[in-house]
Amino acid sequence: MTMERKPAWLKIRPPAGESYQRIKGLRSDLKLATVCEEARCPNQAECWGGGTATFMLLGDTCTRGCRFCNVKTGNPQLFVDHDEPEKIAHSVETMRLSYVVLTMVDRDDLPDGGAGHVARTIRILKEASPELMVEILTGDFRNDDAAIRTVVESPCEVFAHNIETTRSLTRKVRDGKCGYDQSLDVLRKALAMRPGLVTKSSIMLGLGESDEEVEQTLADLRAVGVKIVTIGQYLRPAPRFLPVEDYVTPEKFAYWEERALAMGFAFCASGPLVRSSYRAGELFLERYLGRQRQAAEASES
């Protein structure tokens, strides 16, 4: 049964405030894309109001058409804004960020899927702000080893790739070029290529999945070494997208957080409005990585 009337716990306050306007103006002036806007994230007011944003690399047009995602689909015809890394570095410095999340559209039109551009962006950010921690949420690069390695060997602290949904729902929910096992393999390879790298993934609920399938998806993510997982409610961006099958209660999300932690994840953010880029998760990771950095410095001294 499809569900169209949203429950009270999904009420979202409208964007407003000085920090929100400043980030909106900065993004507009530099012609940068943010996943906050393109994917119609329900937490835009909270994040921009708190002075953070998730920058989307390689433009605003994705070469894939997942049936849950509001990002524009098309063929960018090899276009890349080569000044984008410097623009984002300027934004990060202006916003005085200590932790930044970058994501990307899938760029199947580019020979390397955009991996070189992503890695260059991370290097430029680090050169401009050496203490900055960088989380990159990538596509699957069609599971190409060279492309994955290019990003993994950049100086990012967190490598994220979203499984999105359960195995049985993958064909219904994601573009045909995506795959459940392919996504698991990308995460497995990333950790194998750089042991100690923090890997992260995200699951949407409300698409018709069973509890047993969610449990299995969590187990599959742990099996490939994923340390951080976020679990949120699927919200239909527009009528042309998949309908919501179920609005999961806050109590059920709390249950999944407990299960994830019991299964060995270092952190799980689970709630109706939780998204892959989520401030609570970012704050945890900043503290977690900070402790790792201090421990490494202490062992060297």
Instruction: Classify domain 13-300 at the CATH superfamily level.
Output: Aldolase class I (3.20.20.70)
- pLDDT tens digits along 213-272: 999 999 999 999 999 999 999 999 899 999 999 999 999 999 999 999 999 999 999 999
CA distance 257 to 62: 31
pTM over 0.75? The answer is: yes
The torsion angle over the Cα atoms of residues 190, 192, 197 and 200, rounded to 10 degrees, is 50
Weakest mean pLDDT among 91-95, 166-170, 227-231: 91-95
Q: Which residues contact 288 (CB under 8 A, 6 or more apart)?
A: 198, 266, 267
pLDDT, tens only, 124-160 = 999 999 988 899 999 999 999 999 999 999 999 999 9
Q: What is the mean pLDDT of the chain?
A: 87
Residue 104 in tokens:
């990307």
Q: What are the distances in angstroms from CA 91 to CA 26, 38, 88, 98?
A: 7, 18, 5, 12
Stretch among 7-21, 46-60, 125-139 having the lowest mean pLDDT:
7-21
* Mean pLDDT of all residues in 89-115: 90
